[in-house]
Each structure stands twice: as structure tokens, then as C-alpha cells.
Amino acid sequence: MKKALPRMLPPEQRKPDSQYRDLLRHVLKHGERTKTQMETDAITIMGPPPLRYRFENGFPLLPDRNLEPKVSEKLPVTIWRQAVGEILGFVNGVTTVEELANFGCYWWKDFATEKKCAKRGLPTGDLGPGSYGGGFAHFPTKDGGEMNQFAVLLDQARMNPLLRTLLVTDWIPYFIPRGKGYEQKVVVVPCHGVAVHLRIINDKLTLLMFQRSADLIIGVPSNIAQYAALAMALGQVLGFPACEYVHCFSDAHIYVHHLDIVERLIEREPRPFPTMLMESEKNDLFAFRHEDFEITDYNPYPGIKNIPVCV
């Protein structure tokens, strides 16, 4: 049985949120045009203001464009569900395209091609031990073992909810460098989840995620949704309702081939956030799947088709 968690105001009492489009405007105004390794220039800024989403104002599934389009043979699972499935897969230590598909996320096949994987000495479809799931669930330890960081985080939070050290990372430094003298073991270096910091303040849970590299058009709308859903799941498992999700950036950028899309998005008037329903009976973080979540009261603008992706 699903129910709305955490407590959210009735839809008619929620205030439209303009933080995302304000961020787009900020990058356009203050960013610099830069070359990138993707062979596409970007408008880039370091350390823009964070986004802060209070769950009482609804679930931060951006309505600026439709992230719940109709499913089809080409799109078997809708966008926001793929995002939630992806983060749940990573929390469970998933490191391959095939495993991600089992969690309902299908967009990694273009990143883990035979050519890209062979370049790093990995089988086709393997994201590598330095990928998100590798860092979260198989972090190498000094004795040659591995650490499931979310399992430890849950244990620590239950032991002492007041700790300020409830933090995990998917960043494994020695799998990242490339070039002579290094052996990179990750197909895509982690962009999000470089720091995921949980705080329980006055019996309410706040989750902060630090993102190293943020593609504001393709990646960030999904990243917001997936970490907000993770905050809700953590809150239920620990017994402290999620009250806020905070999204922090280092390198935030808009690729120049997305500039026309940005102009369309910032012209749209803000709309209220929807409601997220979540399976209320689960108390095991690692048992959650995207099917345990359901969006209602979602009133987005039309989707934007064929947005170019830098692979």
C-alpha cells in the first residue's frame, strides 16, 4: 500500500518553485563559454547557489517539461522512474548495464559500449569498479575487502541519529585518473553522489547531495528526482520523515546545443510540484524499487523531444 510520505501540503496550497529556471538564468548571466572533452562547448560556472526543496511544498519532480511521458517500445520505463531505478540500483551496488535494466534504468547502453569498455579493460556493458554502484556498495578497504557505505550509514544513524558524519561517496580516487601511468577503471566518472550527506535535525531528515559535474538540461532534473526519492526512502527506513533535499553543485554547465531549449524553459511560468506516494510497509532500503513510488498531481509543460546527449 502506498501513501504520501513525508507530509506534503495539499496541492492547492503549494507554491510554484522557480529555483531551477533561476539557476539556468544565473548560469547564462554569469557563466563562461568553455571548451569540453565532449567536443561541444558549454556555458560553465563553478559553485552556483544550491537548490533547496522542502517536501512540504511537494515532491521536486520538475514540471518545466514532462518527465513522465507515455511509455513506449523506445521508452519502456518513464524518465523519472528510470532515474529512481538508477539510484536504487547504485545503492545496491549495481555496476553493469544489464543489472541496471533489472532496476528499470535503460539509458546506460550508449555509455558502456564495446569500444569504451575495451579502452578501460572492461567487458562490454560493465561500468567499472569506479562507478557509482562500485563506490556506494563495494568501496575498497585497507585490508583488501570492501565496504557497503549505505549499510554502514544506516547502522551509524540508528546508533546515534545526531551524528554529523552520516556521509557516503561514490568517488574512489585511484579508479579515476587517466593517461600514462594510470589505469582508469570507470566508463563514466561519477558526476553526482560525490558526497551524500544525511542529517537528522529535530527528528527530521535532510539529505544533501554534492554534484561534481552537472549537465543542467539532461542530467540535473533526473538527479533531483532520484535523490529526493532516496531521501524519502531513507526517512522511512530510519523513522525520521524527510523534510528537505539540498542539491549542491561544483561545475554546473549548459551545453551550447541546449541553449534554444533553455530559452524555452525559462519562458515558462513556474507550476506547483506534484505529490510522491511511496510504499509504506518497507523498512529495508535495499528492497526499494521504482515500482514502490507513484506520482500524482503532476501538471507539467509538454516534453521536449530529441534533446542531444553528449556521450
**Catalytic positions:** 191
Q: For residues 94 and 210, what is the distance between their CA atoms, to the nearest angstrom?
A: 21
The grid coordinates of residue 251 equal 561545475
Q: For residues 190 and 176, what is the distance between their CA atoms, to the nearest angstrom?
A: 9
The b-or-e profile of 158-185 (16+ CB within 10 A means b, else e) is eeebeeeebbbbbbbeebeeeeeeeebb
Q: Interhelix angle for 220-238 vs 79-91, to 10°?
A: 50
The grid coordinates of residue 213 equal 559535474
The grid coordinates of residue 20 equal 531551477
Q: For residues 144 and 268, what is the distance between their CA atoms, to the nearest angstrom?
A: 52
The b-or-e profile of 187-217 (16+ CB within 10 A means b, else e) is bebbbbbbbbbbbbeeeebbbbbbbbbbbbb
